[in-house]
Chains A and B, each alone.
Chain A
Amino acid sequence: AQSVTQPDIHITVSEGASLELRCNYSYGATPYLFWYVQSPGQGLQLLLKYFSGDTLVQGIKGFEAEFKRSQSSFNLRKPSVHWSDAAEYFCAVVPGRNDYKLSFGAGTTVTVRA
């Protein structure tokens, strides 16, 4: 079955430490891949996206993600976390050119401790 999996429900990280959020997808071909962030009570903000080309993509707020075809993964990273990065993070896919809808993972909640 087609799916997007975020294995970590909750991650706690110290301010200034690095962060990596995992995302795996199960689709026949390489889908379009996205990471969104949602602060409490807010809508979703796009952090970055991957369609093709360079497998390391840069996004806003200092985030980057790496696409690994062999592992069907699209993990999100940030070298040094700030307290304002505490939020919920969603990996999402658009399966392909003929499938227009975003399919989201269940999300990972990030807590930042001082």
Chain B
Amino acid sequence: DAGVTQSPTHLIKTRGQHVTLRCSPISGHKSVSWYQQVLGQGPQFIFQYYEKEERGRGNFPDRFSARQFPNYSSELNVNALLLGDSALYLCASSLQRMNTEAFFGQGTRLTVV
């Protein structure tokens, strides 16, 4: 079975630009969560989507948004990129809303220059 897949794996953007990151959860998983991992730190929670509705949001500015599609895949959008947005963005999927067993993708490495 395929695991959590994220695309792209790497990308470089310029300050002020917009970026869209994509995530396909494990088949049958209805919950997708997004995390930001800055170099040298643990992942920080950004969003959770469950059954296509936003169920939780971390302490991130409104420049960050996300959505979940009918097939449970998800997109994370970041507007007006700042240098500080450079990070590894991780997607995690789980069967239920409670992340009692979350499976992570390989992540998207975003570099803002």
Contacts and interface: CB of A to CB of B under 8 A. Distances in A.
Interface of A: 4, 32, 36, 41-46, 49, 51, 90, 92, 94, 97, 100-107
B101 A44 contact: no
Interface in B21-70: 33, 35, 40-45, 48, 55-56, 58
A100 B33 CA distance: 10
B107 A101 contact: no
Q: For chain B, what secondary structure do more than half of its interface residues adopt (helix, strand, loop), or is it mixed?
A: loop
Interface in B96-113: 97-107, 109
Contact of B99 (A43, A45, A100, A107): A100
Of A36, A43, A94, A107, the most chain B CB neighbours within 10 A belong to A43
Contacts of B98: 94, 97, 100
Contact count band on B: 20 to 34
B76 interface: no
B4 interface: yes
B33 A101 contact: yes
B42 A90 contact: yes
B42 A42 contact: no
Interface of B: 4, 33, 35, 40-45, 48, 55-56, 58, 90, 92, 97-107, 109
A43 B41 contact: no
B104 A94 contact: no
Contacts of A102: 33, 35, 43, 45, 92, 99, 102
Contacts of A94: 98-100
A104 B56 contact: no
A43 B106 contact: yes
A45 B58 CA distance: 22
Q: Which 6 A-B pairs have the closest CB atoms?
A: A104-B42, A43-B104, A44-B104, A101-B45, A43-B106, A106-B42
